[in-house]
Structure 1
């Protein structure tokens, strides 16, 4: 479907090659149709929206990412930031496409045939703590010391135990994260490591995978997950739009 050039306001999802066709049955924000505005070699995926519409809702955020991920599963797409709105299709062409056409075409060519996947690995806390109690007498002693006491009674011991546990997770993380990276790296086009946010986080990776090697990538991940499954839980998300492999649009 191609957008009417006279539409007053457009919500923008991303940029695709003008020759590409959208996957069928995409549902955009506010439950509205997803359309295409074409200009030379580029096209922008949009939904006409009411100027008074409340765009920044959780449902619309989910719709935004679902549309982009659905497109990325079949054709290259450069995601736009959630909440991007332009007044008219004409301004969209002049301010978004014309000024950056060469860069967009180069990025779309680089991404052709690929999709992003996200790998998340987190420690199974009880399993790691059980090992620490067996391996470190000081951890075992402090655990026994605070058992059956109030926080005020054993505040210092609880602080010491927490520091020991965090330190142990930090030491384990270095080797386990590298093991996971080494396992999947040969099967992907590109890889970005995200910063760990929680003590139990081992690693979060955004990987760019060619569609022809998805099975190889999944097999490599399954192998390393099998090696580490007693201590680490794995989650794989995708295919996704290549959020981590394009600059800000």
Structure 2
């Protein structure tokens, strides 16, 4: 017995062709057009899906295959959206959000999301900073082995933090100097670890990705071997769609 329809994303009609990737619970993927919007869906076998790694990957793979097959303009829906019938879609979504949906479909036409994460080795960068700044290194070294007051601890800590922040911004500025001109829009996301210094998505022309990737490799080479980068050149554009209640 089905629990309704599990929705993956919204496309302009006619939407994606056949999707070979199986959906959640290994269900086949279908498309259905209602009031000028094509929804990619499978029959839900559960009333609620756990946001497990496997389920999240399946959700994303369905959308990625649709894009790979030529349905480039996509409004990805957040994981876990189940509706009992298409009348509910009309009443709860389209009656209130049709204008916004049209806006985002137009905004994303011919564009793709790519994302960049930059990491550095904090201790290595700190040591390099001290070697490049003898005065600051001498100041820190002179305090070693001494019992410091709280003010002294704060002062040297603030000085090191300020210099490290400047070092970080120099790296970020170099990447953005070259990459931002490709972007119609960017979305800066939170850094997730101590070693991550940059986490940003770019909305670029679909056909500009190869040039974007080449420029990224060139900048990375400038900083080698100081940095590690994680570049995703193909992902549903979650960062550039925000539906409001």
Query: Conserved in 1, the CA contact under 8 Å of 2:8 and 2:76?
Result: yes
Gaps of 5+ in 2: none
CA distance in 2, matches of 1:69, 1:166: 41
Report what 2:217 is aligned to.
222
1:170 to 143, 165, 169: 165
The 1:158–1:68 alpha-carbon spacing in structure 2 relative to 1, beyond 3 Å, is farther
1:96 to 93, 108, 127: 93
2:196 to 189, 201, 205: 201
Cα RMSD between the aligned structures? 3.0
* Deviation beyond 6 Å, 4+ runs, structure 1: 143-146, 156-162
Tell me whether 1:248 sits opposite 2:243 in the alignment. Answer: yes
Report what 1:3 is aligned to.
none
TM-score (norm 1): 0.80
TM-score (norm 2): 0.82
Structure 1 segment 35-184 matched on structure 2, within 5 A: 35-52=30-47, 54-73=49-68, 74=70, 75-137=72-134, 138-139=136-137, 165-184=160-179
Gaps of 5+ in 1: 1-6
Query: Conserved in 2, the CA contact under 8 Å of 1:188 and 1:217?
Result: no
Q: How many residues align?
A: 239
The 1:22–1:168 alpha-carbon spacing in structure 2 relative to 1, beyond 3 Å, is farther
CA distance in 1, matches of 2:183, 2:13: 27
